[in-house]
Every structure is written in structure tokens, then in C-alpha cells.
Amino acid sequence: MSSITLDNINSKAEIKRKTAKPLLWIGIVSIVMFFSGWTSAVIVSKGGAPDWLNIEMPSAFTYSTFIIILSSLFFHLGLIAIKKDKKNQLKGLVLLTLILGVSFVVSQFLGWKSLYNNGIVATGSESTNASSYLYLITSFHVLHLLAGIISLIVVSVKSFLGKYSANNYLGVELSIIYWHFLGALWIYLFFFLKYIA
């Protein structure tokens, strides 16, 4: 009976290993399509509006870019560490990534505050198509990033509980794929909004 139960557990773990990454990539592709639709809409709207307002990106958004690049670097170092079974290094690097992830969200709020203080609003009679798209795109990126932060919290807790090892780091790998994707997405959105929108 115990051997059958053990076989069931091993079978479920193997199914999870085989399906987790493809499911994550399906989710990532759907997010890419989501943002591709919006950035395409910006281009179409800008082409049809001779009075399109070119908005200068607040410096907080530039800081956001550096923060998310640093966070990806530290998280990647954490993945390298756990592959070498350096569990304490993983703990520190994931925690640092989490702090930088929260810092990214704070810098986005500071960017929105700067825009608002300069009269660039998301809705209402003073808003423009350009400002509405800017807030819409950046806020939805932050929403997706909050899912990444939840993932980082889970990985951080599990790393402190010693759940990961050189033979078992799938959770770290899945989280880092999503986190790297969010970083790449932000870099694309930042340059799109700065130079194209």
C-alpha cells in the first residue's frame, strides 16, 4: 500500500514538472498578446490624432527600469546558487529580489504622482488619449508584477523553510522565468512609451 502511495506521489510530481513550464509559457504568450494589442492601439490612435500629446516620462520610470534589471540579475544569481545547492545564498538573493520588486512598484506610484502633479491625468476632461493609454499600460503592468511579487514571496518563504535544493528547484525556475519576462516587458513598454507613444 505504501509503495502504491509513493508511486502516486512520484507520478504527480513528474506530471507537475512536465506541465508547469508549458502552462507558464501559455500564460506569458497571452500577456504578450494583451500588451501587443494595447501598444498597437496606441500607434493607431496616435496616427489618427494630429494633436497627440507627447508625454515626457517621469524620472521615476527610468529608476524603475534600473530597479527591475537589478532584480532580475539578483534572482538569476539565486537560481545559479540553488543549482549548486547554496541554500543560504538563495535566501538572501530572493529576499533582495523581493525588496527590489516592491521598490519597482513604489517607483511606479512615484511616476504616476509626478505625472498627476504635472497635469497629466488618466480620466476626466483634462485627460488625453495619450495620458489614458500611459496610465492604462503602466498600471496593468504593475498588476502583472504584483503576481510576480506574490510568486517571490512564496519562493522566499519556501527557501527559508529549506524546500529547495540542487535536485528540486522547479518553483524557483518558474518564478524566475516569469520575473525575467516582466522585466523584459517593462523595458519594452518603457522605450515604447518614451520614444513611440
Section 168-184 average pLDDT: 95
Section 14-23 average pLDDT: 80
Residue 19's pLDDT is what?
85
Report the percentage of the chain scoring pLDDT > 90.
Answer: 74
In the predicted structure, residue 10 carries a pLDDT above the cut 60: no
Rounded to the nearest integer, the mean pLDDT of the chain is 90
Q: Give residue-wise pLDDT tens across range 133-172.
A: 999 999 999 999 999 999 999 999 999 999 999 999 999 9
Q: Give residue-wise pLDDT tens across range 110-128.
A: 999 999 999 898 887 777 8
With a threshold of 0.85, does the pTM exceed it? yes
The domains of the chain, with CATH numbers, are 20-195 (1.20.120.80)
Residue 173's pLDDT is what?
95
Task: Give the 3-state DSSP-derived string for the chain, with helices as H, strands as E and coil as C.
Answer: CHHHHHHHHHHHHHHHHHHHHHHHHHHHHHHHHHHHHHHHHHHHHHHCCCCCCCCCCCHHHHHHHHHHHHHHHHHHHHHHHHHCCCHHHHHHHHHHHHHHHHHHHHHHHHHHHHHHHCCCCCCCCCCCHHHHHHHHHHHHHHHHHHHHHHHHHHHHHHHHCCCCECCECHHHHHHHHHHHHHHHHHHHHHHHHHHCC
Residue 13's pLDDT is what?
61
